[in-house]
């Protein structure tokens, strides 16, 4: 599959400090890529360079085959952007806001406006003033505005900030639908790891300006099991003797083991007179893996970076 977006050796140096260090990344149509990093890692700086808000020291961004270096306007014409809470004219209706933004792009028809309104589920409230909208509705209107010109690449920087759980779920649903039906490549920067885990097909992790990991969310994770048995000290020693790692978790132990090894472990425990109360698969969350990758760095990033 041909990528929609390619970051090629993207770098940014301020003074003598290299803020972004040769970042290479591709994003594909119909997929949602999560962009993660600790505080000050360089997420926002990277995004600003991707959309031309900050000058690149070196490297290039290719969007739908067009280089940002060679043809800035054409390259960015294929991009839609939502940064946190989209700014709208609150005294105007949602529809008039979209008409206003449509004038900034060539070829956006009334039919296209109606289409994006339906895509984000705003048809029942679109002619009401934005001042009457909830935050979730304003986010949906912002998404409609970003989609007006049929972008190939959609960038969202903290798109669910301030939304309640129902609003987050709703926004995630529309985003997934748009990626699948429109073939848009979506790029989401967020500190809400639980949402990234539910929303994204793949993640890219940046730390100290360097891309340290890119992985598919469907990749097979290490196999972990939670075992609750007493005496716990004896259980842990038996596991260590068998070559397993055993970490305390709640009232039991977390071990790195395959499914076929579990019956033998339980059999050993019972033979040694231990009481076994629980055995269940345990999947490490994206947050667990993120903290392991980054050494426990803070997740959120200041927008002044």
Tens of pLDDT, residues 131-144: 999 888 888 898 89
Q: Return the pLDDT at 207.
A: 86
- pLDDT, residue 111, reads 93
Closest of 38, 61, 49, 50 to residue 14, by C-alpha:
49
pLDDT digits (tens, 9 = 90+) for 171-191: 888 888 889 888 899 998 877
Note if the bond before 247 is cis, omega within 30 degrees.
no
Helix, strand counts (H, E) of the chain: 10, 14
> What's the rounded Cα separation, in Å, for the pair 146 and 92?
18
User: Please, which pLDDT band fits residue 303 given cuts at 50, 70 and 90?
Assistant: very low
The pair phi, psi for residue 165, each rounded to 5°, is -55, -40
Extract the tokens encoding 207: 């730390």
Give how far Cα 128 sits from Cα of 87, 90, 136, 237, Å: 16, 10, 15, 67
Per-residue confidence (pLDDT) for residue 219, from 0 to 100: 61
Q: Does the structure show a pLDDT above 50 at 304?
A: no
Place of tokens 């940046």: 206
Q: Per-residue pLDDT for 239 more than 60?
A: yes
Tokens representing 53 are 């808000």
pLDDT value for 112: 93
The C-alpha angle 275, 279, 280, rounded to 5 degrees, equals 165
Q: Is the pLDDT of residue 63 over 80?
A: yes
Asked whether residue 301 carries a pLDDT value surpassing 80, the answer given is: no
Q: What is the mean pLDDT of residues 110-118?
A: 92
Examine the pLDDT at 87 and tell me if it is beyond 90.
no
Find the largest Cα–Cα distance for the chain.
Answer: 77
Q: Which residues of 102-139 are buried (b: 16+ CB within 10 A; e: fewer)?
A: beeeeebeeebbeebbebbbbeebbeeebeebeebbbb
Asked if residues 46 and 5 have their Cβ atoms less than 8 Å apart, the reply is no
Q: What does the pLDDT average to over 68-94?
A: 86
Residues 228, 278 contacting (CB under 8 angstroms): yes
Mean pLDDT score, 41-53: 87
- Strand pairing of 66-67 and 58-63? antiparallel
List CB contacts of 19: < 8 A, sequence separation 6 or more.
12, 13, 42, 45, 209
Among the listed residues 134, 201, 205, the one whose alpha carbon sits nearest the alpha carbon of residue 171 = 134
DSSP secondary structure code for residue 220 in this structure: P
Q: Does residue 86 have a pLDDT over 90?
A: no
pLDDT of residue 300: 42
Quickly count: other Cβ atoms within 10 Å of residue 7's Cβ.
Answer: 24
**Residue 305, pLDDT above cutoff 60:** no
Domains of the chain by start residue, with CATH: 5-216 (3.40.50.300), 224-283 (3.30.70)
pLDDT, tens digit, 9 for 90 and up, residues 210-232: 988 888 876 645 578 889 999 99
Given pLDDT bands bounded at 50, 70 and 90, which one contains residue 295?
low
Residue 148 contacts residue 101 (beta carbons within 8 Å): yes
Mean pLDDT of 88-116: 91
Strands (E), 86-245: 153-157, 185-189, 202-207, 210-216, 224-230
User: Rounded to whole angstroms, what are the CA distances from 17 to 12, 20, 57, 89?
Assistant: 9, 9, 12, 40
| pLDDT at residue 139, rounded to an integer | 85
What is the side-by-side order of every strand in the sheet holding 224-230? 246-249, 252-256, 224-230, 275-282
Note the pLDDT of residue 223.
Answer: 76
| Distance (Å) of CA 46 to CA 10, 64, 95, 189 | 8, 18, 32, 10
């Amino acid at each position: 599959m041909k990528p929609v977006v390619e970051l090629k050796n993207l770098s940014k140096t301020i003074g003598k400090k290299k803020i972004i260090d040769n970042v290479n990344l591709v994003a594909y149509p119909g997929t949602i890529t999560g962009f993660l990093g600790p505080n000050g890692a360089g997420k926002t700086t990277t995004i600003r360079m991707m959309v031309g808000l900050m000058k690149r020291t070196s490297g290039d961004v290719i969007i739908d085959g067009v280089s940002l270096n060679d043809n800035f306007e054409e390259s960015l014409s294929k991009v839609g952007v939502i940064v946190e809470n989209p700014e709208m004219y609150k005294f105007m209706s949602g529809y008039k806001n979209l008409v206003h933004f449509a004038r900034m792009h060539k070829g956006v028809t009334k039919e296209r406006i109606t289409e994006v309104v339906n895509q984000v589920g705003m048809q029942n409230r679109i002619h009401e003033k934005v001042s009457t909208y909830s935050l979730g509705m304003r986010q949906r209107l912002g998404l409609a505005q970003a989609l007006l010109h049929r972008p190939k690449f959609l960038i969202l920087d903290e798109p669910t900030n301030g939304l309640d759980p129902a609003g987050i779920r709703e926004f995630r649903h529309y985003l997934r639908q748009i990626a699948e039906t429109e073939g848009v490549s979506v790029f989401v920067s967020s500190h809400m790891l639980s949402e990234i885990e539910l929303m994204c097909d793949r993640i890219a992790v940046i730390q100290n300006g360097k891309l340290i990991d890119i992985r598919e969310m469907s990749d097979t994770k290490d196999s972990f099991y939670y075992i609750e048995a007493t005496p716990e000290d004896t259980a842990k020693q038996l596991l260590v003797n068998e070559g397993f790692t055993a970490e305390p978790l709640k009232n039991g132990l977390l071990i790195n083991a395959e499914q076929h090894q579990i019956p033998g472990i339980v059999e050993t425990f019972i033979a040694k007179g231990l009481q076994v109360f629980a055995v269940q698969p345990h999947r490490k969350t994206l947050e667990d893996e993120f903290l392991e990758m980054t050494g426990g760095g803070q997740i959120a990033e200041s927008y002044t970076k």
